[in-house]
């Protein structure tokens, strides 16, 4: 993992306010990108220098060039130069280069130590190893221990303070200690177990590796204790546990699940960037999803624009789809038009759009009653991109055509859908039934009901409620009762809405006995009346159309907040309270 320079750290110490930075502010993701890009491209550019080293002067020139770079090349590059110098048998120069590396702050690793041992500098290697393990810089692995054992054997002497026995016991404790963490995770069944494991881990010297802490974070996340996961992350930072890319993404996910991206997600991102962790397309994609999930569509769009405009990372199809969804959720012609522009930008940038993005835009355009524009996008999706629409895409268009009264086109789209091998689903038929009923075309709606049943698709409460409402508004209570019977025979349980629709139908058509009977059935089945039904009942009681003895039953079925509604007459409220 490439580390950020000091300037990069300063940039992201203010990551929490990143969304609110103006585009021309120097504290932007652009500075991170340029630093990160320079670092990685710079590192790659060193390779050709080593190929040209044929003598000691060449090697020293390469070293001077490396030390002048900002940021400094990685320790791997310096190790490569040390090996080149070693191969030329210039061991003393290699040691001097090592000293300069330390003075420049280049982090050394076990490869550096191996090179020192190869030079015969066994005491220096021993000291380096002691510092690394005693200070808890990292946990020694088998290669590091074997290297120092080799050096110790070459050095000889029974009275050496770093004896083979102590080295063996240290290695045994270290490796068994690490392995012992695994069985702890297997026993974690609840949050208390997880917190106990964390406490045990924090008491160890040296602290377990970041991978172990990440494993614990994942366990806590899987138990849905997302706030605890964030708290563990804070403790890790305070204890000095080095965080990595996996830590960042696990805790950012926790913040997404908690719906606290601004208060948590960006803070976590900032903490990780300060510690040299570079976010990528996956991290930003998760943050965008978190913002959209919270309904913060404007913030999601703003973050995406900055990521794209500043070239922080190349957005993938998932990121584009997330922002397209945000724009369509915002609604309005301007935002949906932006979504159209975004899907075309994807294509220009070489990121192939998929059916998710196109279907979202088709639906957004239909909701804005821009049916012709939706059809144009649909044709682009099929003919230009070669993407096969799915049932969701077709449903959006059929719904749009129906709402616009373009019945012939809706019927044509349904036939095209079936010809293309896409089977209509429950949602498709409910769209048709609902729209036919709204336009008082209940006979057509009944035909659709027959077709869906013939195709083996069972109607649901939404289907029956649309038909019931239409018949009640027509005053055709005979057919309304038939629909209710069909509902029961199909095994579909009437909903609260079903009862209120039928009750209003009875009341508006002066079928008061049926209304009273239904109210009693509702009382016995834990249904309730909504505010519009309560208002109608209240008016009828006040007008003397209903017996006041029904008020007690009405009061039982109406939630208190609805009884307190200003729409309910004062007389009904007073009578019910008495």
Tell me the domain boundaries of the chain. Answer: 280-399, 517-578
Angle (deg, nearest 10), helices 333-348 and 355-367: 160
pLDDT of residue 356: 94
CA 446 to chain centre: 42
pLDDT of residue 117: 58
Cβ–Cβ under 8 Å, residues 241 and 207: yes
pLDDT of residue 155: 55
pLDDT of residue 94: 83
- Whether the CA torsion 281, 287, 293, 299 is positive or negative: it is negative
Supply the Cα-derived Rg of the chain in whole angstroms.
35
pLDDT of residue 116: 59
Cα atoms in the Cβ-side hemisphere of radius 13 Å centred on 102 = 9
- Tell me the C-alpha to C-alpha distance, in Å, between residue 170 and each of 114, 165, 205, 438: 19, 9, 12, 79
Q: Which residues of 55-91 are buried (b: 16+ CB within 10 A; e: fewer)?
A: eeeebbebbeebbeeebbbbbebbbbbbbbbbebebb
pLDDT of residue 353: 92
Q: For the domain made up of 280-399, give the CATH fold.
A: 1.25.40
Which H or E run includes 28?
none
What are 227's two structure tokens?
Answer: 């706030």
pLDDT of residue 18: 43
Cβ–Cβ under 8 Å, residues 503 and 533: yes
Backbone φ/ψ region at 510: left (φ over 0), alpha (ψ -120 to 50), beta: left
CA 108 to chain centre: 37
pLDDT of residue 175: 47
Residue 243 CA to residue 1 CA, distance in Å, equals 11
What are 375's two structure tokens?
Answer: 């059809």
**C-beta pairs of 546-553 under 8 Å, 24+ apart in sequence:** 546/512, 546/515, 548/575, 550/516, 550/519, 551/575, 551/576, 552/576, 553/519, 553/520, 553/523
Note the residue count of the chain: 578
- pTM: predicted TM-score of the whole model, two decimal places: 0.62
pLDDT of residue 71: 72
Alpha helices in 156-225 (DSSP H): 164-186, 191-202, 210-222
Cβ–Cβ under 8 Å, residues 559 and 525: no
Q: Mean pLDDT in runs of 10 for the chain (578 residues)?
A: 40 40 38 39 58 84 82 82 86 83 75 66 63 59 64 55 48 48 74 89 85 91 91 88 90 90 86 87 89 89 86 87 92 92 89 93 95 95 93 95 92 92 94 93 92 92 95 93 91 92 92 89 86 88 81 80 53 46
Q: Which residue has the tokens 């999803």?
A: 289
Residue 240 CA to residue 234 CA, distance in Å, equals 10
pLDDT of residue 388: 93
194 closest CA partner among 171, 225, 165: 225
Other CB atoms within 10 A of residue 159 CB: 5
Cβ–Cβ under 8 Å, residues 468 and 483: yes
Instruction: Provide the Cα torsion 170, 176, 180, 182; round to 10°.
Output: 120
What are 186's two structure tokens?
Answer: 């297997």
Residue 99 CA to residue 88 CA, distance in Å, equals 19
Cβ–Cβ under 8 Å, residues 287 and 315: no
pLDDT of residue 68: 81
Residue 433 CA to residue 467 CA, distance in Å, equals 7
- Whether the CA torsion 544, 548, 550, 551 is positive or negative: it is positive
Cβ–Cβ under 8 Å, residues 358 and 343: yes
- Tell me the C-alpha to C-alpha distance, in Å, between residue 66 and each of 63, 409, 462, 506: 5, 69, 71, 88
**C-beta pairs of 543-547 under 8 Å, 24+ apart in sequence:** 545/510, 545/512, 546/512, 546/515
**C-beta pairs of 168-172 under 8 Å, 24+ apart in sequence:** 170/133, 170/140, 171/140, 171/142, 171/145
Q: Which residue has the tokens 């990551």?
A: 15
pLDDT of residue 416: 93
């Amino acid at each position: 993992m490439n580390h950020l320079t000091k300037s990069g750290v300063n940039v992201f110490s203010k990551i929490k306010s990143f969304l609110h930075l103006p585009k021309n502010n120097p504290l932007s993701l652009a500075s991170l990108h340029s630093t990160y890009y320079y670092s990685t491209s710079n590192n790659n550019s060193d390779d050709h220098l080593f190929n040209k080293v044929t003598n000691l002067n060449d090697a020293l020139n390469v070293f001077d060039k490396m030390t002048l770079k900002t940021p400094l090349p990685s320790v791997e590059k310096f190790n490569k130069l040390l090996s080149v110098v070693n191969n030329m048998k210039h061991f003393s120069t290699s040691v001097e280069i090592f000293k300069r590396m330390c003075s420049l702050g280049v982090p050394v690793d076990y490869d550096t130590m191996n090179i020192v041992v190869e030079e015969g500098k066994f005491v220096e290697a021993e000291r380096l190893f002691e510092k690394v393990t005693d200070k808890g810089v990292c946990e020694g692995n088998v290669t590091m221990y074997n290297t120092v054992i080799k050096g110790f054997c070459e050095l000889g002497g029974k009275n050496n303070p770093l004896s083979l026995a102590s080295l063996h016991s240290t290695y045994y404790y270290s490796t068994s200690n690490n392995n012992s963490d695994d069985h702890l995770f297997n026993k974690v069944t609840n949050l208390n177990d997880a917190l106990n494991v964390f406490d045990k881990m924090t008491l160890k010297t040296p602290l377990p590796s970041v991978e172990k802490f990440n494993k614990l974070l994942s366990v806590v996340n899987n138990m849905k204790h997302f706030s605890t996961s964030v708290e563990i992350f804070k403790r890790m930072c305070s204890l000095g546990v080095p965080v990595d890319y996996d830590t960042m993404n696990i805790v950012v996910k926790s913040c997404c699940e908690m719906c606290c991206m601004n208060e948590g997600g960006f803070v976590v991102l900032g903490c990780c960037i300060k510690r040299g962790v570079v976010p990528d397309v996956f991290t930003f994609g998760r943050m965008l999803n978190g913002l959209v999930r919270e309904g913060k569509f404007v913030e999601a769009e703003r973050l995406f624009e900055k990521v794209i405009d500043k070239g922080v990372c190349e957005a993938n199809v998932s990121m584009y789809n997330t922002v397209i969804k945000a724009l369509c959720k915002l609604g309005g012609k301007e935002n949906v038009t932006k979504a159209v522009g975004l899907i075309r930008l994807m294509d220009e940038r070489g990121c192939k759009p998929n059916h998710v993005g196109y279907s979202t835009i088709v639906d957004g355009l239909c909701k804005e009653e821009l049916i012709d524009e939706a059809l144009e996008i649909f044709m682009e999706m099929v003919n230009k991109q070669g993407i096969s629409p799915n049932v969701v895409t077709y449903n959006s268009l059929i719904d749009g055509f129906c709402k616009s009264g373009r019945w012939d086109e809706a019927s044509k789209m349904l036939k095209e859908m079936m010809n293309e091998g896409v089977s209509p689903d429950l949602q498709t038929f409910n769209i048709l039934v609902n729209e036919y009923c709204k336009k008082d075309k209940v006979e057509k709606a009944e035909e659709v009901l027959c077709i869906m049943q013939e195709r083996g698709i069972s109607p649901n409460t939404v289907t029956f409620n649309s038909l019931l409402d239409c018949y009640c508004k027509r005053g055709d209570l005979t057919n309304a009762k038939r629909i209710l019977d069909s509902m029961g025979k199909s095994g579909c349980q009437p909903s609260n809405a079903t009862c209120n629709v039928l009750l209003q139908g009875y009341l508006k058509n002066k079928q008061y006995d049926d209304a009273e009977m239904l109210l009693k059935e509702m009382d016995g089945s834990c249904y309730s009346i909504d505010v519009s039904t309560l208002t109608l009942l209240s008016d009828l009681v006040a007008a003397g159309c209903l017996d006041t003895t029904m008020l007690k039953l009405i009061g039982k079925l109406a939630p208190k907040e609805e009884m307190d509604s200003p729409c309910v007459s004062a007389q009904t409220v007073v009578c019910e309270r008495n």
